[in-house]
Structure 1
């Protein structure tokens, strides 16, 4: 098992928080729908219902936990992309309901997650380069 990065812990715990919140409050969408009207109803319609989003949140958390047991960059990168998409989707909910507070916090974390994803891709490409150089007997 590799040690988790801060962003992995963050997305894993955030998705658990969303799962728990949606599981405990069965009428959460109904109670917040009036605040934003049709925009929020359309947003929720993208995943179907609250139960689906709770399941998606649990799956994201499980993927991040399982991801800690691999060192394959392709798998790690795929899970990070899924986590980024999930986080951006959840961020949209916060932006619809709490635009002033959420914009700063959510956009900063989104940028941080995207930046970490780019670093991960760079690291994977660097390892590929090193393998090719080593295979061809070229010292770097």
Structure 2
């Protein structure tokens, strides 16, 4: 299974760490607009892979959406962070725009992928993705648990 993670921040790195413990991921792409950041994180993953079930996982740092070609699942963690005094709703508009932009890029290279939206507010971002791209609602998952609505 090929999985992409968009965003090499704390959440994206945490998602990658978890995925590497599963042993069922054949290829893991960590994509970030800052390639050096993605490369640094992947460097660390490669050193710890022997301690996980991911001995055969190909881990790729990237800043190019073409590396997601044919991905089965893409986890979107990229977006504006909540600053002190802000709520999830304060960043909804910017993160919805970012989410749609990212989803459109994914759609070009992995139109059959399942998207998992983690960026806050994830339910709102997922809704905007399904209404502004060709991804069907059953292919876009978020887990806000109605926190944001």
TM-score normalised per structure 1: 0.30
The structure with the largest helix share of the pair is: 1
TM-score normalised per structure 2: 0.29
